[in-house]
Structure 1
Amino acid sequence: MSAPVRPAVTPPARGPDGFTAAASGLARAVQRVTASPLGAYQSAVVRIGVAATFLLFLLRELPHRHELYGPDGPWSWDMADRLIANNGAFTVLMWSDSATWFEAVYALTLVSAALLMVGWRTRCTSVLFMVGVLSLQNRSIFMGDGGDNVIHLMALYLVLTRCARVWSLDARRTARDATRAASGERPAVDAVGPVLWAVLGGFLLPATVMGGLGGTWWLPSLLWMLWLGGGVRWALDRYARGHELRTLLDVVANLAHNAALFVIMAEVCLIYATAGWYKIQGSRWQDGTALYYPLKLEYFAPWPGLSDIMASSALIVMALTYVTVIVQVAFPFTLFNRRVKNVLLVLMIGEHAGIAVLLGLPFFSMAMIAADAVFLPTVFLVWLGNRVTRARRRLFSRTEGKLSLPGQRRSETVGAEAARAAGGDGHTLVR
């Protein structure tokens, strides 16, 4: 007797194994960080905030610039020269002890901060801004209120970011060129970029040969890579736009931007985490009285009446003290929950605004708010940008006595969309 025939059992369909899924996810992540720069609006806000903070600081200290960083300061040129000879810091103010040279560096830093804020030739002005910040702060390292450290770091990171894709004159120029290309017109000849490139190279070469870029290897290497990369990018854009090397440069620039943006976010988290955990260890923060003492110091009381009102309420002092510690310690852990993160972000920005008013530290608060802006939601920033644009159009239309034409708005929109589709950001040095 033969054995009964069993029906064939079809094995269940198997999905991709764990290795395949992980490889697919890794490929998508690599594609995302290399295809385009992330956080265009966030990086633009950081650029505007940091540049505006340092610009306003330099303008406020304009009458006292010689005492802060110049020849009349308590930290003399000879003392700074001996210190820099030991730590290898970079500052162009050590190239000469002339008052004229100091005035030129201070003025160049002012101009570069203003140009970086509005986003004009951002690759160039971000480098000049970094040079100015490092030169002034390394000249007198004991000047500052904590916000100078944030500006110092952000000035370094902004050089590596493509922070002019939106809300900048570079982005407007790129949109205008895209509009001309879409209509069949030839793009305008750019003479400013090559001139800037040649002038900066003329300064960079003797500074490198004479050892005026400090005692570190990374700063000369970074400056030369940016200078050479800008020249190569301009040549490819003009003579071989579809060349593979241009695509490679875009990939490298996107990687550098996304890495710098990640470092900025990590830096902000590190600042708050260390500040919060150090506060926890203090007895005054544990018993809720830490805020009382700076409110009673005359140096930190620009509004004595308001400080006295705040200090007279034990409940307010205790609540603000505990909220400060909780927000700073908890913020890095809330990045995994967008809604909670946004709530704590509002609290931190409000905290810094209160520090600016109550303790008289406006530039420290502005620097921290500019760094916090890297975590602002894109939806909010787009909404804010639209509101500012509408307000600006209304203001100019009332000033000129006429409204902008709908066709003009439509052409600007088409140009902006074409520029984004082409991947241009107006961020290279010589475009």
Structure 2
Amino acid sequence: MNRFGPLLGRGIERITASALGPYQTAVVRIGFAATWLLFLLRELPHRLELYGPDSPWNWDMAQRLIAENDAFTVLMWSDGRIWFEAVYALAVLSSALLMLGWRTRTMSVLFMIGVLSLQNRSIFMGDGGDNVIHLMATYLVFTRCGQVWSLDARRAARARVEPVEPVDLGRAAEPVDKVGPVLWWFLGLGLAVVTFMGELSGGWLMVFWGLWLAHGLWWAVGRRAPHGEARRLLDVIVKLAHNAALLVIMVEACLIYATAGWYKIQGSRWQDGTAVYYPLQLDYFSPWPALSDLLASHGLMVMLVTYGTVAVQVAFPFTLFNRRVKNVLLAAMIFEHAVIAVVLGLPFFSLAMIAADAVFLPTSFLRRVGGWTARARGALFSRFSRGAAVPGQRGADEEPARESTEHARVGFPS
């Protein structure tokens, strides 16, 4: 029993002292926000038929269904065209800003609202990837997904290097954040109006008011006592929430593959090795008929892909205990989803699954990718601008902020 005491202590210290997986959560944030944004932009000409007033699943039918399952969607607050366009525009804007990492705490909530509102309005629109986005949009709210590769990280790095005049000799100097408080008050006013009109009730009312109050409390404590006991306690709670949400994301990805693999094992077409052949014969899943016919004409290839898909999906959750095997299967699954995107014409399903897979990517690999991207971006920008480099820019893009100063100096919660 004494042997497990130090291990348990180190484990508790680790999950309370730092927000784990900064690069992984950043990739998940960018991946899902980009996937949803690209989907919304592609369906922009068809938005009214998919989720709006012209949808075959009309407003009355959606209202009756939501009255039974209590799903959340702000599109049920009004059946007007203007309201729908406003919600759709909010979904596009929040996706773009979350992808860039601007005020990630706020944008993650607005991103979740946009995803749930549109998907719950017309539940029959989607290809499977929408279910993954639906779940991950909720989990991202509880993560600190803007620690690296975000505008928030860049703003925090600049705040650490730029001199700031002290306001009070008794406490640390902090940069004045004007955008955060205005955004917080504006959203609070909107939430109050919606609550007064009776559009929100029950659990969702508590969730949104709780998030709004938690963000305000974080900022207030940070301004009054950035290094006090209350701030340290809140910091521990935030890190615990982040690490718990990160664990849920990982477990969710494993469950998706495990259930898919075990259900495939029970199917006769997967057992005889011919399951992949049939989708290749459907016009809906054949954007490149010549390519589909070429693959379907090779029986050995069809059999290998069929059995290989089942083996990879069933085995993946068990390979997490071996890093090398996990990385090999992870690369195989990402390649498989890339092939599905091209051959079967399911790009957004594949992008959503690749974004979910990214939570398991090694930190060393992600850091190298970040370095390559930063150098490529620097080389590109140097051709158009010869201005001086911004202090702290490199650190904001490549290194997570130090835990001891990251939140105390950023200012208002974003």
* Matched pairs, number: 408
Provide the secondary structure at the position in 1 that maps to 2:3.
helix
1:23 and 2:10 correspond: no
Query: One-letter code of the match for 1:303?
Result: W
Question: After the TM superposition, which residues 23-62 of structure 1 pair with which residues of structure 2 at under 5 Å, given as runs?
Answer: 23-62=5-44
> Which structure 1 segments of 5+ residues have no match?
1-17
Q: Distance in 2 between matches of 1:184 and 1:421?
A: 22
Aligned match of 1:65: 47
Q: Distance in 1 between matches of 2:56 and 2:121?
A: 12
Q: 1:413/1:80 Cα in 2 relative to 1: closer, same or farther (>3 Å)?
A: closer
Question: After the TM superposition, which residues 308-347 of structure 1 pair with which residues of structure 2 at under 5 Å, given as runs?
Answer: 308-347=293-332
Q: Distance in 2 between matches of 1:192 and 1:409?
A: 21
Among candidates 295, 301, 305, match of residue 286 of structure 2: 301
Provide the secondary structure at the position in 2 that maps to 1:160.
coil
1:396 and 2:378 correspond: no
1:193-228 CA-partner distances (Å, limit 9, x unpaired):
0111111111222333444236x52x3222222211
Question: After the TM superposition, which residues 97-246 of structure 1 pair with which residues of structure 2 at under 5 Å, given as runs?
Answer: 97-180=79-162, 187-213=174-200, 217=203, 219-246=204-231
Aligned match of 1:358: 343
1:289 and 2:274 correspond: yes
Aligned match of 2:170: none
Percent identity for Structure 1 against Structure 2: 64
Contact 1:122-1:429 within 8 A present in 2 as well: no
Q: Distance in 2 between matches of 1:213 and 1:31?
A: 39
Query: One-letter code of the match for 1:203?
Result: G
Contact 2:341-2:349 within 8 A present in 1 as well: yes
Aligned match of 1:8: none
Provide the secondary structure at the position in 1 that maps to 2:402.
helix
Q: CA RMSD in A?
A: 2.2
Query: One-letter code of the match for 2:87?
Result: V
Query: One-letter code of the match for 2:223?
Result: R
> Which structure 2 segments of 5+ residues have no match?
168-172
Contact 2:150-2:397 within 8 A present in 1 as well: no
Q: 1:100/1:428 Cα in 2 relative to 1: closer, same or farther (>3 Å)?
A: farther
Query: One-letter code of the match for 2:58?
Result: S
Question: After the TM superposition, which residues 66-85 of structure 1 pair with which residues of structure 2 at under 5 Å, given as runs?
Answer: 66-85=48-67
Aligned match of 1:5: none
TM-score by length of 2: 0.94
Contact 2:37-2:92 within 8 A present in 1 as well: yes
Tell me by how many angstroms 1:403 deviates: 7.8
Contact 1:126-1:159 within 8 A present in 2 as well: yes
Contact 1:37-1:257 within 8 A present in 2 as well: yes
Provide the secondary structure at the position in 2 that maps to 1:142.
coil
Bigger drift between 83-92 and 269-278 goes to: 83-92
Tell me by how many angstroms 1:98 deviates: 0.6
Provide the secondary structure at the position in 2 that maps to 1:143.
coil
Aligned match of 1:7: none
TM-score by length of 1: 0.90
